[in-house]
Amino acid sequence: MFHGIKFLPDGTHIDFVGKRFLAMAFSFALLLGAGSLLMTKGLNYGIDFSGGIQMEVRADQKVDLSELRTKLNALGVGDIELQGIGETGREVMIRIPAFETEKAQNIALKTVRDALGPSFEDRQTGVVGPKVGEELIRDGVLAVALAILAIAAYIWLRFEWHFALGGMVALIHDVLATMGVFSLTGMEFSLTSVAAVLTIAGYSINDTVVVYDRVRENLRKYKKMPLADLLNLSLNEVFSRTVLTSLTTIMSVVAIAIFGGDVLRGFALALIWGVGIGTYSSIYIALPILIYFKLRNADVLDAPEAETERP
């Protein structure tokens, strides 16, 4: 009889909590690097945040980006950025920096269009003012902060305050690490990137809640078991589910990165990193941190279940 394929053995006994100091050192270095990058290099804001004009054009024949860049930057309308999109070599994304007035913006746009000539088809043009960009940055930060607080409040209501603080620390860790990756790689940070960060937070906390739920069950079963052993037991019991869920999610996102085109590639790459760092934080941040918060809370342990022998 066929029982399916087992990618991980049953009854693993990995000492996750015992490696918490090494994980803390890694996380500290990761966050220190991310913070340094954000303060020095910053983010490569897309037009959603930085303001300006973004054009998508298609040429009659394959475009020499270097030659076109030299031509457009000689127009005197600021530092114009070009990026090839698609696989034909004929489609180009052009970014023109923001101007103080709408009139100056329109003049710059007309100048670029005239320079491109009839051999380029203007497929899409978007204009974002500097004030709108600043408002979107503020709203994006507010959205992420409120999402983290709302998730922490939900965990507090469902579990205990120890779990809420652990989950919130893990989420902040994941968000800052992801922002550091955007700064390091220079990937464009746009509204789509904010959506990716929020998706990463949602995935990470979902994984964390599964582990927390098993911890709560085991706290009621094994009331005399040392907390570190109980946390290891809980994580080992759900480890197979955690790994397989992460792998199947990454496989789906990789497909988006490969076949989703240039518009979705940045979003997909951010998610691939986010799934990995979210799984890591659920194991090595959200769980071990309960030890420092002295989890054994009477509200959790005052359950009617009888003492069960340690497996």
Name all contacts of 63-66 with Cβ < 8 Å and 24+ positions apart: 63/89, 63/90, 63/92, 65/92
Query: Looking at the structure, do residues 210 and 239 belong to the same domain, yes or no?
Result: yes
pLDDT of 225 above 70: yes
Q: What is the mean pLDDT of residues 236-248?
A: 85
At 65, which CATH number? 3.30.70.3400
Q: What is the mean pLDDT of residues 104-129?
A: 80
Contact 179, 232 (CB under 8 A): no
Query: Looking at the structure, do residues 61 and 31 belong to the same domain, yes or no?
Result: no
Q: For residue 83, which phi and psi values (nearest 5 degrees)?
A: -145, 125
Mean pLDDT of the chain: 80
Query: If pLDDT is split at 50, 70 and 90, which confidence band does 294 have?
Result: low
pLDDT of 187 above 70: yes
Given this model, what pLDDT does residue 309 score?
A: 42
pLDDT of 283 above 60: yes
Given this model, what pLDDT does residue 305 score?
A: 44
Q: Last residue of a domain, which of 128, 159, 194?
A: 128
Q: Last residue of a domain, which of 128, 145, 163?
A: 128
Query: Looking at the structure, do residues 163 and 271 belong to the same domain, yes or no?
Result: yes
Evaluate whether residue 231 is within a structural domain: yes
Answer positive or negative: Cα dihedral of 111, 113, 115, 118.
Answer: negative
Residue 168's SS3 state is helix
pLDDT of 171 above 80: yes
Crossing angle for the helix pair 102-116 and 65-73, to the nearest 10 degrees? 140
Q: Which of 201, 206, 152 is nearest to 179 (CA)?
A: 201
Query: If pLDDT is split at 50, 70 and 90, which confidence band does 261 have?
Result: low
Residue 123's SS3 state is strand
Domain count for the chain, please give it: 2
Evaluate whether residue 12 is within a structural domain: no
Given this model, what pLDDT does residue 308 score?
A: 41
Given this model, what pLDDT does residue 25 score?
A: 92
Given this model, what pLDDT does residue 132 score?
A: 65
CA 295 to each of CA 85, 216, 249, 291, 299: distance values in angstroms, whole numbers, following the listed order: 52, 10, 31, 6, 10
Domain residues for 92?
A: 52-128
Contact 281, 250 (CB under 8 A): no
**b/e map 274-305, b = 16+ CB within 10 Å:** bbbbbbbbbbbbbbbbbbebebeeeebeeeee
Given this model, what pLDDT does residue 1 score?
A: 44
Q: What is the DSSP letter of 17?
A: G
Please count the residues of the chain. 311
Q: How far apart are CA 59 and CA 1, in angstroms?
A: 60
Q: How far apart are CA 161 and CA 170, in angstroms?
A: 14
Q: What is the mean pLDDT of residues 209-219?
A: 85
pLDDT in tens, 30-77: 999 999 999 998 888 877 777 777 888 888 888 788 888 888 888 877
Evaluate whether residue 310 is within a structural domain: no
At 247, which CATH number? 1.20.1640.10
Helices vs strands, H then E, count in the chain: 11, 6
Query: Looking at the structure, do residues 144 and 266 belong to the same domain, yes or no?
Result: yes
Query: Looking at the structure, do residues 243 and 162 belong to the same domain, yes or no?
Result: yes
Q: What is the mean pLDDT of residues 161-182?
A: 88
Given this model, what pLDDT does residue 26 score?
A: 93
Given this model, what pLDDT does residue 30 score?
A: 92
Q: How far apart are CA 52 and CA 97, in angstroms?
A: 5
